[in-house]
A and B are shown apart, each in its own frame.
Chain A
Amino acid sequence: MLTGDIEPSIKDAVSQLPPQAAKDLLSAGVCVRCIFRLFGIRGQVYSFPTLAPSLIYSQLEEVIDVDESIPRCSVEANGSLGGSDTDLGFCTICLGILQFSYHDAKDKVMKNQSPSDMASTIAQSVKQEGHSISDFSLEISIPPIILENEHAVRLHLKSKYGNEGWMQESNSSQIISVKESLKFSLTGLVENVLDAKSSLSEFRIRMTYTLSKSPKTIQNIMEKNKRFKKLKHGNEKLHSDGTDAGDADMANDRAEEIVKRTLKNLGDQQPSVFPPDKVTEPCSLVVACSRASIFFGGRYLKYSRNVSQSRWIIDDERMGEASVEEIIGSNILPLCRGDAYKFHAAGREDIDVRMLGSGRPFLVEVQNARDVPSRTSMREIEVKVNNVGSGLVKVKNLDLVGSQGWNLMREGEAEKQKQYAALVWISRPLEDVDVETVVSLKEMQILQKTPIRVLHRRSPLERGRTIHWMNIERIAGSSQYFLLHLCTQAGTYIKEFVHGDLGRTHPSIGSILGCRAEILQLDVTDVKMDCFMAD
């Protein structure tokens, strides 16, 4: 082997290794990148494609040759690497992850890929999904058994080289994790192929490695520790549905947490199995990418008394001709090419109540958007939604708001004031004195029992509410009909405030005027909140 072929940085990295121990590990089937990370080597060296064990082995030999003080006996005892690199199994610690070996989605074994091959594979899955991105964050999930393998190897090193200087200086915190090492290998390359920056991005690329077969050692540990019953359960789950990347992620993360704790508790008592068994199967890899939800904020108007706020279907039968949720959501979703949308609003009105005036604040959350529309395109989106809404529903002040839109909308939702216009009929002609009476009532406290119309599904309670002010607008040509304008505390049931709900809301318009009062129509004319108003 010609040393001239070796990159100086690899040579440099190798020179930092304790040669005897490194050779020992190579013989035990530990991959080069795992050896680097066990001895705390960082950086670019992980992304070199040519890190063949034989190459490193001969490098180490050279170091030993130069340094006469290192005895040679143990290497002979452990035998040599035997055969070519490809004959070796997968790394006995990382199970091939840092050798870029894995079962792909079609269950084909990909062996000894180069880091740039991996980067292309990742880029491809981003492109397949059709994402347009400027930055990303790489997330990695690995089977917890890798931690256990690492622990066993570490115990071996400790017992064998515990007296040597480098061992005494080192501690487990200098070990670089498999995840970190994988990022050292791939991040720069992925940045290049995607032409995007790695950062704490809303766009996540998730590499999930799962075991193809159930590990035996971890179960040994767990059987020894009956009190980790939960853990065992979690682990079984992990292996049984390793096909679902999302579930596997969660299972990996949870199990990893538990394994770390278990290993910590076990300390150094665990008898180490060394050299570890040959690994013949690499992990399965699923690469998935997704964008964190994006949020559109705005206010909606509802001009129809036959459109509900949310999709409302009872026994396969749609209530109302459409819903605000669907009209807005289904038009925004394709513009962002997202997976799904969720509609949130600051309160709601009944299906037969129109939402006029200021409109009601809402948020549309788009999950896994492939495109994020620019803020300058909001007016166009508004026009589009408003055209499709065919006059039933309109949006205004639409904007991209970020997830803090939530807080904006929830802020003061309970205290907010709402203004209504109700078409009221009373059982006798309206007198001027009635108007004076009603208008004079400011900040009036009322008590409302849960209305009969919702009592079947809500808790029976009596709630105090405030009617801030009222106004009467007479209707030309009618003495018993009038428009009642009123501003109330959020949560007031207006229909019941007018007719009294069998005296269960008191006082009511009927009780104040001393006659029967009926409400024919109701409209919300203002939702007094600061959020999503025009600039």
Chain B
Amino acid sequence: MEADHPQASVEAKSIGKRLEFVELAVVNQEGDKEATEEDELQRLLKPNVDELPVEPPSSVEFNFVRYFAPDFMKEGHDQYVYRHANGLCVIGLAPSHVAFKDDGGVTEVDFNVGKSDRSSMKVTGKRKRNAQHFESNSALCKVNTKDASYIVRCCVKGSLLEVNDRLIKQPGLLNSSADRDGYVAIVMPKPADWLKIKSSLISLDDYTKSRKT
């Protein structure tokens, strides 16, 4: 049970400390070894509170380099491209996207654009069979607001690995967390294409500056 309740074991340990003298004389060797191993584990797990940041970087900040495609093909169509160290790119709507300015924000997401329904493609296997090859201007989906409709584009030339089909039932994720659970798609560009793609995007710093003014 001790292992199941670390808190309990911490308390037991502090009591144990006081009894150390008495115990040493009576516990058998095995028990002693176990006790020291448990102590050791507790010591190793205990973080140094002083070294912890007040607010740590988020997993998105930590794992991705954030790029932006402002006014992509149309004014106000601001999108983000978050690139993971492994080369995969998460595509979504930047906070300054024009859709968010409409009253009530995004109300509907429709992946049935272009020649096929983007959410019906099933990519399989390590080699990503069935992945469609997209150009940067290929449409990923349509986001609707109360009285307008906007096309979200790929921004990155590459294979479409998945689209976020949760958005079909929960379009509100775009309004509440477009940069996390409200992402639109994951695209895998060819490594050789990346430098060219990168030059078509702007950095987080440049984006922040440009949208402030």
- Nearest-neighbour CB distance to chain B for A497, whole angstroms, equals 12
Contact of A455 among B7, B47, B164, B186 (CB under 8 A): B186
Interface flag for B68 (CB, 8 Å): no
Contact status A452-B88, CB under 8 Å = yes
Interface flag for A476 (CB, 8 Å): yes
Contact status A521-B124, CB under 8 Å = no
Residue numbers in A under 8 Å from B57 (CB-CB): 518
The residue in chain A whose Cβ has the minimal distance to the Cβ of B181 is A503
Residue numbers in B under 8 Å from A503 (CB-CB): 164, 166, 173, 180-181
Interface flag for A457 (CB, 8 Å): yes
Question: Which residues of chain A from 438 to 487 have any CB-CB distance to chain B below 8 Å in the complex?
Answer: 449, 452-460, 469, 471, 473-478, 481, 483, 485
The number of chain B residues with a CB under 8 A from chain A is: 40
A78-86, A129-137, A376-384, A419-427: which lies at the B interface? Answer: A419-427
Interface flag for B140 (CB, 8 Å): no
The residue in chain B whose Cβ has the minimal distance to the Cβ of A503 is B181
Contact status B45-A483, CB under 8 Å = yes
Residue numbers in A under 8 Å from B47 (CB-CB): 423, 475, 481, 483, 521
Residue numbers in A under 8 Å from B45 (CB-CB): 356, 421, 483, 523, 525
Interface flag for A370 (CB, 8 Å): no
Q: What total of A-B pairs shows CB separation below 8 Å?
A: 98
Interface flag for A41 (CB, 8 Å): no
Contact of A303 among B44, B87, B173, B183 (CB under 8 A): B44
Q: Which of A423, A502, A526 has its CB near the most chain B CB atoms (within 10 A)?
A: A502
Please encode chain B, from 35 to 58, with 1 for each CB lying within 8 Å of some chain A CB and 0 for all others: 001000100110101001001111
Contact status A453-B84, CB under 8 Å = yes
Contact status A356-B41, CB under 8 Å = yes
Contact status B90-A452, CB under 8 Å = yes
- Nearest-neighbour CB distance to chain A for B160, whole angstroms, equals 11
Contact status B88-A455, CB under 8 Å = yes
Interface flag for B146 (CB, 8 Å): no
Q: A471-B7, A473-B6 are in contact. Are A456 and B88 (CB under 8 A)?
A: yes
Interface flag for B5 (CB, 8 Å): yes
Interface flag for B31 (CB, 8 Å): no
The residue in chain B whose Cβ has the minimal distance to the Cβ of A485 is B6
Complex: how many Å from CA A244 to CA B49?
63
Contact status A519-B49, CB under 8 Å = no
Contact of A354 among B44, B59, B87 (CB under 8 A): B44
Contact of B49 among A459, A476, A500 (CB under 8 A): A476
Residue numbers in B under 8 Å from A11 (CB-CB): none
Contact status B186-A419, CB under 8 Å = no
Contact status A357-B41, CB under 8 Å = yes
Contact status B126-A458, CB under 8 Å = yes
Residue numbers in B under 8 Å from A1 (CB-CB): none
Contact of A516 among B58, B90, B123, B186 (CB under 8 A): B58
**A interface residues with partner B (beta carbon < 8 Å):** 303, 354, 356-357, 419, 421, 423, 425, 449, 452-460, 469, 471, 473-478, 481, 483, 485, 495, 499-503, 516, 518-521, 523, 525-526
**B interface residues with partner A (beta carbon < 8 Å):** 3-7, 10, 37, 41, 44-45, 47, 49, 52, 55-60, 63, 84, 86-88, 90, 123-126, 128, 161-162, 164, 166, 173, 180-181, 183, 186, 188
